[in-house]
Amino acid sequence: MAEPIIEPIENYGLSKRSQKRTLFSKVGVVGAGKEGSVIATTAALNGIEVVFLEPTEEKIANAFARIEAKLDKRIENWGLTQNEKRAVLGRIRGTMDYKDFEGCDFVIEAVRYENGMREDIRRKEVFLRLEEVLAPTAIIASNISTVVVTDLASELKYKERCIGLHFLSNVPGSQIIEIVRCLYTSDETFDKVCQFAKLINHQYVSVAESAGLVSLRLFLIQLNEACSILMEGISNVEDIDRVLTVGFGHSLGVFRIADQMGIEKIVSLLNNLYEEYGHLKYKPSPVLLRLMRAKHFGVSRGRGFYVYDESGNIVKANL
């Protein structure tokens, strides 16, 4: 009887070179603060591996605490199980080293104003650092609202892979993304980011590059007008929000959203729009300035347009 021919099974498997890599199997997030942690959590909930970067171990721990709090909220509302929570956390990793973004095919910058450094300067530095470690085909995005992506991409070698995004992370349950093409963005990059939005179960709208985009320009003008109504004594904080929630179907109302966003951030955004467009409708209301000077920033400080308990629940109106 002839000897059986024995061949290693590895010869019949696909080599690493032959295996087709899934698009968006690994995504990076630079900055896992309030908005960055929402992006990281959303991606991981939809089966995507996530690496986020923070400058210190303490900030990495704080980011994981924010992410866990978001997942626990889902568990409370019967939208997630403990086992699913562990699986989601298993897809998320924190790092202090840009080199850990190697292998990512999409990295979203979500840094914020810090230590006196302007947002655009800090973000441009992030873009340059990312280009050092990412493949030429990897997409670099900025989670923007008033900063212009064309400026951030201007010094990169592969400018066509840069794009802007805006997650409406301050409105719970919001599932829409504004996608902003810069002067250099290629059609391929835009199409891939639209595909990413679908992968994380978000709708998207294409928005021309402009300060404030669609969402913030509409919201901030509405907030300024609501503050004028408040100043004129026409109505109070709770009733103005009630008109919007009950009458127009808004989920929270302008004052509650403002407290979620942070009054200090809103004043900064309005100042940016006022500087950009020069129109009085973007000048921060005296009500907003008064709250900011009193450091009544909203939910983060326990006081804004409303007073909040330690769990972030409304106790009463503050104005």
Mean per-residue pLDDT pooled into runs of 10, the chain (319 residues): 47 51 87 92 94 95 94 88 93 96 94 58 90 95 86 92 90 86 95 95 94 93 97 97 95 94 94 93 97 95 95 90
Q: Give the predicted TM-score (pTM) of the model.
A: 0.85
Q: Are strands 162-167 and 176-181 parallel, antiparallel or unpaired?
A: antiparallel
- Per-residue pLDDT, 116: 42
Q: How far apart are CA 239 and CA 254, in angstroms?
A: 11
Q: Are strands 162-167 and 139-143 parallel, antiparallel or unpaired?
A: parallel
pLDDT in tens, 40-87: 999 999 999 999 999 999 999 999 999 999 999 889 888 889 999 999
pLDDT in tens, 80-134: 899 999 999 999 999 999 999 999 999 999 987 554 445 667 888 999 999 999 9
Report the half-sphere exposure of 12 (CA within 13 A, side-chain side): 4
